[in-house]
């Protein structure tokens, strides 16, 4: 457990937790998602320091985040855009040079994309961002319906 105190954003929280994570790549899963994605696939050895899972754009985020090429490379520009699913495999070195404190993940991802260091995959299955009470209630209704 890594105590943040003041919220640090995703990259800042990871930077603070690096002593607990060690030197090996780690799997990151946001706490406010629900999915049927097989997380064990992220443990597979990969040559890139970052591997992201992308999903179809939900109604609340129609513009997406990133483009996934046919070769499995993630880009900051390009069409058709997909949404970062809040799941991925990361090399701790990506976060080591960050100062302690608040830091967002997106700028680090975009810098890594600029170095062609981000691979990705599209998950066509179930994925829900349950980051609001309304979206959590909607998923709960769907899961309880016959």
CB 53 within 8 A of CB 120: yes
pLDDT above 90 (res 5): no
> What whole-number distance in Å separates Cα of residue 66 and Cα of residue 53?
11
9-144 folds as Spore Coat Polysaccharide Biosynthesis Protein SpsA; Chain A (3.90.550)
Q: Model's pTM, two decimal places?
A: 0.93
Tell me the percentage of the chain whose pLDDT exceeds 90. 94
For 77, half-sphere exposure in the C-beta direction (CA atoms, 13 angstrom radius) is 2
pLDDT in tens, 80-123: 999 999 999 999 999 999 999 999 999 999 999 999 999 999 99
The sign of the dihedral angle between the CA atoms of 19, 24, 27, 28 is: positive
**Domain locations along the chain:** 9-144
Tokens (6 digits) for 70:
């046919």
pLDDT above 90 (res 2): no
Helix axes 105-114, 9-21, angle to 10 degrees: 80
Beta bridge pairs of residue 129: 33
Tokens (6 digits) for 123:
């998950």
> Quick one: pLDDT at residue 85?
98
């Amino acid at each position: 457990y890594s105590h943040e105190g003041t919220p640090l954003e995703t990259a800042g929280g990871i930077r603070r937790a690096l002593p607990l994570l060690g030197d090996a790549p780690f799997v990151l899963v946001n706490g406010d998602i629900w999915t049927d994605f097989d997380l064990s696939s992220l443990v597979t050895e990969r040559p890139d320091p970052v591997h992201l899972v992308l999903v179809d754009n939900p109604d609340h985020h129609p513009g997406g985040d990133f483009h996934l090429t046919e070769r499995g490379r993630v880009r900051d520009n390009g069409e058709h855009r997909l949404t970062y699913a809040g799941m991925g495999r990361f090399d701790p070195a990506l976060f080591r040079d960050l100062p302690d404190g608040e830091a967002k993940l997106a700028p680090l991802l975009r810098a890594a994309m600029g170095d062609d260091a981000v691979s990705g995959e599209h998950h066509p299955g179930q994925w829900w961002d349950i980051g609001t009470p309304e979206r959590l209630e909607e998923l709960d209704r769907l899961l309880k319906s016959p």
